[in-house]
Every structure is written in structure tokens, then in C-alpha cells.
Structure 1
Amino acid sequence: MSAVEPGTRLANRFRLEDRVSESAGATLWKAIDEILARPVAVHTFSPEFPRESEVVLAARAASRLHDPRLTQVFDAADEDGTAYVVSEWVTGDSLLDLLEAGPMDPERGAVLVAEAAEALAHAHEAGMCHLNLTPGRLMWTEGGTVKLLGVGVDAAILGLEAESPEDSQRRDAEGLGRLLYAALTGHWPGEDDCGLPPAPLDDGKICTPRQVTAGVPGYLDTIASRALGVKRGAPPLETPAAVAEELAQVPRPVPAPASTVPPSVELRAEAPDTLNIRPVAVPRPQPARPPGLFSRFIVTIVVLLVMAVVGIGAWSLGKSLGTEASPSTSAPTTPGAEPAKTVALTPAGAIGFDPLGDGEERNELAPRAIDGSYGTDWHTESYNDAKFGGLKKGVGLLIDLGRDARLTKVTVDFGDVPGGAAELKLGAEPTPEALTTAASTKEAMGKVSFDLGGSEPSRYLMVWFTELPPYQSRFRGTVLDLEITATEE
């Protein structure tokens, strides 16, 4: 049994509510972060659990991973004899759920695995691995994104170890091959019981996806077989990065995969699948339906308008206070007076902007472009060609300046990869029709200064990519940071 009970508060902040699953001394809880008022997942461990320190160290290492497709770890500690790990609470459909009615559309399933492969490649670059890739660990969330659960933490809980970095890369690449095989066939090509029927054999060898399911594209059959090491005459794929590179040819973006799970079912477990978990009954409210494209766009606009109202109020109050404090400091403009001074502007906020698509473009990364650090960045999604595959005319980073301003210069650091093109758009409202092009560059590389010479008063600034530079085997635009100056009002 767990050493803690419902109602226990950890770190004077995380209140345990529902015991979701438990096995071999490891217990998963749904808890509430009382400071941020949000649900979180918490692992606790009984006094007999033998690897508490290993799990805590692994979780702390995983907390430094920032790929949004990996489960975020918020806290990990061993205090007063109680070890715990606090991470993101993920709801949605696992790959296992999506396969309940049989194989997925091949390219939809491949896109899920491609996203997981890219995220896992980033984890390996940071020295982290998974070693427990099963259909229950790959999620399609209610928000319409991919999440890979348990990087680093699963292996520590289960006591899984790799002999070398090369061995961990090979094992995770093979795990990705199993996930792709499962998505294509609805069968599991592994010895462990993950909830799917085992892959059929032909003369003692695993049948290829095309032998199991009709309509599997040849290139996906080859990728899955190479990752599993069963493709004769073709070199195996031995790293997650290699799997990601091969899956980069899968057409994207694609519509969200249709869930095969009854509407009343919601994924609650975030414990490793091979722990022989004993589920504990938890009340399951009906999950919210993911918002449509138009609805998400409207929500984005509403958020920006709220930011505008707050910003105008703050600016007006500050200006009023300044006037009261020094009523005699303003002087009328006279002929021959010195030119207006320029000041640096600090933006009030930023979002990714995709008005011709789903309304947003890597919103979670947007604050990195205005944080004053060149060590962080906002970037677009990765596309199959520089012109967005003909699906849209462009995407951008929309910046709320916090007030109307006459801009004199905007310097954008696009990174060191040549090949992109971008425009600078200004406007009084955060809508496509209100934003007009003020400047452009055919070489969006390095630091590019746009001299605006005192623009019309504008509240919003957008860096709009019309062509993307290459990124690995695909195309992606990047903004490391911006410097904005305006005339002093």
C-alpha cells in the first residue's frame, strides 16, 4: 500500500485526490496544484520501493526537456521519507484507445509516431531515453496535440537500463517501429502484453505490415520493418532521429485522428504499461470536445482583445499619473525643436498566428521570442516544403506592443539558416485584414533591421513568414528575439 492517502498535501501545494493505479510500490494519483488551480499527475512510492532516488534523479533530468510533445515534469523530491514526482496531467486518447476498432488510417497513424520520434530524438540529444514505448504511452490529447508520456521516468520506475547510449538509441528506435507497426496493423510486434493482439508470424518471423493489413503504403511498410530490423536488404533504423527523418516524408498537416473510444471514456492513467497496473475506479466526466478550427481562431482573437483592453487601461493610468506628478514638464512643439526621442519598447505579449490554418502556430513557444534571450526561440511547425505545401500563404508571430506606438525600427534575429523570406506587418487590430505590410526581406537570416521611420500608430506587430528556410529534412521558420524602438510619446 502507498504511504500516503487521499487528501495528503505534498510540498505544501499538491493535494492528492484520486488514486489512479498502483503496482509494486509505485502509485499514480490525480492531484490538484492548489497554487495554480490545475490537475497534475503525481507518482508516490511506498517505503519498500527500491529505486526512489533513481526515479527522482531521472524526473529532475526530464524536467529540463522542453519539447511540448513530451510530458512536462513540474517537481520531483524526496522529503520527510516521501518521494514523489509531479508531472503534467494528460487527457485524451492513447494509441491503444485509437486502435480499439482496428488499424488507423496509415498516414494518420504514421504522423503520430513521427511526432513521437522527433520528440524522442530531442530527448536523446539531452541524454534521456524512454525504453518502454508502448501504445499506452503515445497520446492524442483533447487539445489536438501529440504527447509522449514517461521519458526518463518510466525506465527508472521499471528498473530498465541500457548498456550504452547506442543501446538506448537502438532500443527506442525499435520501440518506435513497434508503435508504427501497431498503428498500421492493430497488432503488437513485441513479447510484452500491451493490450493488442500479437503480430502474426510467418515461418517464425513477424509478418510485415503489408502482409497483415491491406492498403499499407510501401514506404511505411519499409520504415516499420527497418526500425524493427526485419527488412532484408535494407539497413536498420537504429536511432529515433533516423526514424524521424524517414517519417518526415509523411504528408502533414493532417486532420486529427478520429477517436474510436466511446464519448464517456477518458484516459486517466499515466503509469508505465508494463507494471501490471491494477486500476482503481475513478469518476470519469465526459471529455470536452476539441474545439474546431474557427472556434480556436475566435478564442485567439478574444484573448488578444482582452490583452488590448488591459494594456490600454494600464497605459492610460500611467500617463495620467505622470501628468499629475509633473504638470509643467510638457512643452508645446515649436518650429526648430529637436526631433522626437526614440525609446525601446517591451512587448506585452505574443502568440503564434496562423489565420489561414487552425488559428495558432506554436503558441506555447511565442513568449520565447520576446524574453530578451537569444538562447530561446519561437519557431513555426515543420512543413514539407518552403511554401507550406500550397496549404497557406504564410504563418507568423503576432506581437502585442501594449499600446499604440509609432515604430522607428524593428530588428528581428531569424537565426543562421539561409533561405527564408518574411514581411513585417503592422495594424491597430489583431486581425488579418487590419494588418498591412510595412517592410519585407527576401533573406530572413541573421539579424535583419526593418527601418520604419516612424510608422502610423500601431498596436500590433507581426513577423510574417512567406517562405521558410530548411530545417533538417523539412522547412521551419525561427525568431530568436526582437528589438523594437518607437518615438517617445
Structure 2
Amino acid sequence: MSTSSAIEPGTKLAERFRLEDRVHESNGATLWKAIDEVLARPVAVHTFDPDFPRLNEVVSAARTASRLTDPRLTQVFDATEDDGCSYVVSEWVTGDNLADLVAAGPMEPERAAALVAEVAEALAHAHEAGVPHLCLTPEHLVWTAGGTVKLLGLGVDAVLADVVHDNMRVEDAARGDAEGLGRLLYAGLTGHWPGEEAPGGLPVAPTDNGHYCTPRQVTAGVPGYLDTIVCRALLPESKRGQTPLASPAEVAEALSSVPRPAPMPMPAPPPAPPVTASRSEGLDTAASPQRHTPPPPPPYRPVQQPHPSGGGGALGKVAVGLVVLLVMAAVGLGAWTLGRSIGNAGDAPEAGGSSSPTPTTGTTATREVKPDSAQGFDPLGDGDERSELASLALDGKPSTDWHSESYPSADFGRLKKGVGLLIDLKESVAVKEVTADFGPVSGGTVELRVGDSKDLDDLGAVAKASGLGGKETLTAKSPKKGRYVLLWFTEGPSYQGKYRAQVNEVKVRAVK
């Protein structure tokens, strides 16, 4: 009998799966990168020593997982148990796992929540089929090279880690995976792992009085509702009075309002060069045999010259005469207009020796005012609205933006009457207009408010715009003096199925 450790690269299983690289080996189980020679694609293969203690369990778990069809779950292609060589063949996934994504620091909160929401939904489907994970770590959540979410190791990894017990109750398995999802979200929001052993090189989460600190205590800018979801799933002692999340389905429901990650755009093929032709050149159809060939032109016939005394000649002379008269009239009109313009120029005032036109009455000269700082403004909520992103609206880069939290409706989920971006000019000036790039949103309403205080009631509304999207200029009928400029959203624009305020860039102009 050969053992798993004795199998060498180049070994072919089932006359199909050629083992190439040994990725990991532990306790009688070896993970390989292999090639499926029939379908010419990479696959992951687990091989096992004949005396591997849980061989029957791991093959059974793999076969059960193979019946699940959710594309976010790693697909199992084959699972075989025999005396010669037992193995499990599954999908080979490439991309960045959660530990990679937070290696340089916490993720953008909604991005982290979106990834975990996808995993929670997929895991809820698995639990409906009786397949828990029970081994959720950052290495199991992968953002693939193709721009999708994958959950690795369903069923199999728990057996390999010896955390599966036949007498485990369904409720306990559901609760265990809900806590695992809470840990993944905690890691995405903070870059720390709430556990004694931190996988993937992550630092262990800090504690306070023997309990892990909440995400908002670890990282500034974590939205309150995401902090609450983590606590309900993982740290119920931190949110007394809140109902714990006891299953992946409940975690998925709690995260259902989070905008989902968009797949990475695939490069489009270069467009074919347009076929153009002037009236004097034909189209070359030789390169397009499928194109309909137009019928040949009629045979050439010499043009018959009109007889000098025929009726056609007389009509021609009349037509020529009319054209000459029209040309003469046009020339005369042009000369008269030019003479009048010269005469008016001669009557222009000579003060200062300048012939420049007099400025239009009522035009107000303005200057651009460079903002000093900005903050997310939520006076009717918890006081802050993604202030960590506010400077991105002032960095001169249209590709970056400040945006609010996402809400399920345009009226901000009926939680408040508005949110905004508050800009500090550092000096009180007479603000005339603000040009803002609202990015790829649709709809919504924003007010331009100006004042010398950060109090919402003291910031007077001077302009309003609706149906937002792209650049908009809000102009005050009369300049309003103030140090603070507020873009106050009273209706959230639509963005990826949810509603949120967004500002990519802001320019402020004041009266000189």
C-alpha cells in the first residue's frame, strides 16, 4: 500500500488528475495543485494516507458538498475512497483571501460587509442541505481573480481539523458558523482577529475587561449598524438587549441591505475601426463577403446636350438668372451690415483709448476658495457620516469620493431627514456658487447651505438641485457669507440598488 506522503509529483489519479505541486501536508492529508487532463484545467486534490483516521467522514462530507450548486461555494468534482489511494478533487481557486485583503489595514467597511454577506448567503444555503462549515478563517474567504466571492473548504476542512462530531446539534452548528461569520466581518472591519490564535498573520484583537473590543473601539469610522451586527453575531455581551444572530441565515438577513461587490470589469475587445466613406469614394466590400453586394450601376450613357432653341435651354437661362440675382442681393446685404458695424465701432467711447466692450451689467466677479477640510455631517443621527472619506472630495481626483452609509430607501430608512458633507473654508466669505461632482448616482436632492456655525439650523439654504448625477453647479441668487459650506442631501441618490449620498469633488467660488 502506498501512502499519501509517498505519492510524488507527476502521479496521475483516475487516469485524469496529474499531481503537480504539493501545497500543504498535515496529519496524513496532503493538498496538491493538479491538472485535470481531460478538461485541461487546474484542480485542487486532497490525498490521504490509508490509515488516515477520518477517511470515511471526509469522503462522505465531500460527496455531500458536491451536491450543492451555489457558485460561491467551492465545487467538488470527485471523491474516492479505496485501499490504494483515497482522494478528493475540487475547484482550484485563485485570488486574495481575507488575510491578504487586510494585510495593509482594515477594508472599506461596506466592502468588508459585502464580502461577508455573500459568504453568509452561500453558507445559509449549505445549512439548508445539512452541511455546516465550522472552520471559518480568513483563508477560507477569497475574492477571486475573476472578481467573485468564494468560500473554501465547506464540509471537508472541518473533518480535517477534527471539529465535526456526529452528535452535534443543528442549532449548535448554526450558532458556530454565525460566530465564524462575525469573526470574518470583525477582521475585515479592523484588520484584527477576535480569537486566541490569529490565522493568516493577523494581529489578535485587543480586549477590555476580558472581552474583545468592538470594531468601533478598534477602528475609527466603522458604521454603527455594522458594529451592532458583529456584536450580535460574536460579542453579545457588548450589546445587551440585542437579539443574538444565531445562524448564517440571520447574519445574511442582517447584511441584506449592504451593496454587493461588483465583479471586476473584464477588458473589452478593441472596437472595429469604423467604416467611413465620402460621397466621392466607394466602400471596399472585398473584406466582408457576408455583406450584401449592391446591384451594379446602370450602363453609362452620354449626356445629351440641349438644343439651343429648345424649351429646356430657356428654362436653364431663367434659372441661371435667378441665381445671379440672389448672389447679388446677398453681397449687398453683407456690405451694408459690414458698413454699419464699422460705423458703430467709430462711435465707441474713447475713454482710456480702449475699444473693449463694457462689462455686462449685473455680472458678479468671483474667485475660487480652496477648502481647508471637510467632514461627514450627520447631526440627526450619531453625529458622523463617514468622515474618514471626507478629504477625498477635496483631493482633486474625480476617481475618489466621499459617500455616506447606504440606506434601504431614499428617505434614509426614515432614520433621519438628511445627511451631508460639511466643508470648512477657514474664513468667512461671500459664497456665490458651488460646483460638485456627484459621481455615478441617480436621482436624489441636495441643498447648498452656508453659515458661520456648524449648527444645521444656522446654515441657511441658498440653492437646491434634484435628479443628481455627474457635475452640478448650485448658484445662490445672492451671495451668502459664511465659513462653512454644507451639501445637505434631503433625498439619497440611488446607487447599486441602495441609496447613499456621494460627492467626488467640490469647488467653491465666492465674490471677490
> Offset of 1:255 from its aligned partner?
5.1
Runs of at least 4 residues off by over 6 Å: none
Q: Distance in 2 between matches of 1:63 and 1:297?
A: 39
Q: Distance in 1 between matches of 2:62 and 2:113?
A: 28
Q: Which residue of 1 aligns with 2:130?
A: 127
Q: Which residue of 2 aligns with 1:23?
A: 26
For residues 335-371 of structure 1, the C-alpha deviation after alignment (integer angstroms, 9 at most, x for no partner) is xxxxxxxxxxxxxxxxxxxxxxxxxxxxxxxxxxxxx
> Offset of 1:391 from its aligned partner?
7.0
Matches within 5 A, 1:309-388: none
Query: Is contact 2:181–2:233 with CA below 8 Å preserved after alignment?
Result: yes
Summarize the Cα distance change of 1:294–1:33 in structure 2 as closer, same or farther, 3 Å threshold: closer
**Is structure 2 residue 209 aligned with structure 1 residue 236?**
no
For residues 127-158 of structure 1, the C-alpha deviation after alignment (integer angstroms, 9 at most, x for no partner) is 00000000010000000000000111111111
Secondary structure of 2:268's counterpart equals helix
For residues 15-70 of structure 1, the C-alpha deviation after alignment (integer angstroms, 9 at most, x for no partner) is 10110111111100000001000000000012232111111000000000000000
**Is structure 2 residue 157 aligned with structure 1 residue 149?**
no
For residues 89-118 of structure 1, the C-alpha deviation after alignment (integer angstroms, 9 at most, x for no partner) is 000000010111010000001100000000
Q: Distance in 2 between matches of 1:254 and 1:238?
A: 25
Q: Which residue of 1 aligns with 2:459?
A: none
Secondary structure of 1:234's counterpart equals coil
Q: Which residue of 1 aligns with 2:121?
A: 118
Query: Is contact 1:32–1:40 with CA below 8 Å preserved after alignment?
Result: yes
**Is structure 2 residue 254 aligned with structure 1 residue 246?**
yes
Q: Which residue of 1 aligns with 2:54?
A: 51
Query: Is contact 1:56–1:77 with CA below 8 Å preserved after alignment?
Result: yes
Deviates more, 1:234-243 or 1:43-52: 43-52
Gaps of 5+ in 2: 272-289, 291-406, 410-439, 443-496, 499-512
TM-score normalised according to structure 1 size: 0.53
> Offset of 1:384 from its aligned partner?
6.6
Q: Distance in 2 between matches of 1:206 and 1:49?
A: 37
- Larger RCO (CA within 8 A; separation ≥ 6): 1
Q: Which residue of 1 aligns with 2:466?
A: none
Gaps of 5+ in 1: 257-289, 299-312, 314-382, 393-472, 475-489
Secondary structure of 1:174's counterpart equals helix
Q: Which residue of 2 aligns with 1:426?
A: none
For residues 417-448 of structure 1, the C-alpha deviation after alignment (integer angstroms, 9 at most, x for no partner) is xxxxxxxxxxxxxxxxxxxxxxxxxxxxxxxx
Q: Distance in 2 between matches of 1:247 and 1:38?
A: 35
- Alignment counterpart, residue 105 of structure 1, candidates 108, 113, 120: 108
Summarize the Cα distance change of 1:384–1:4 in structure 2 as closer, same or farther, 3 Å threshold: farther
Q: Which residue of 1 aligns with 2:88?
A: 85
Secondary structure of 2:90's counterpart equals strand
**Is structure 2 residue 230 aligned with structure 1 residue 213?**
no
Q: Distance in 2 between matches of 1:255 and 1:32?
A: 30
Secondary structure of 1:179's counterpart equals helix
Q: Distance in 1 between matches of 2:233 and 2:67?
A: 28
How many corresponding residue pairs? 274
Query: Is contact 2:197–2:204 with CA below 8 Å preserved after alignment?
Result: no
Q: Distance in 2 between matches of 1:58 and 1:12?
A: 24
For residues 362-390 of structure 1, the C-alpha deviation after alignment (integer angstroms, 9 at most, x for no partner) is xxxxxxxxxxxxxxxxxxxxx978xxxx9
For residues 154-187 of structure 1, the C-alpha deviation after alignment (integer angstroms, 9 at most, x for no partner) is 1111121252111000000000000000000001
Q: Distance in 2 between matches of 1:254 and 1:119?
A: 15
Q: Alpha carbon RMSD of aligned pairs, Å?
A: 2.6
Matches within 5 A, 1:159-308: 159-161=162-164, 163-194=168-199, 195-228=201-234, 229-230=236-237, 231-250=239-258, 252-254=259-261, 292-293=265-266, 295=268
Q: Distance in 2 between matches of 1:243 and 1:297?
A: 43
Summarize the Cα distance change of 1:15–1:196 in structure 2 as closer, same or farther, 3 Å threshold: same
Percent identical across equivalent pairs? 67
> Offset of 1:236 from its aligned partner?
0.6
Q: Distance in 2 between matches of 1:296 and 1:193?
A: 44
Query: Is contact 1:3–1:45 with CA below 8 Å preserved after alignment?
Result: no
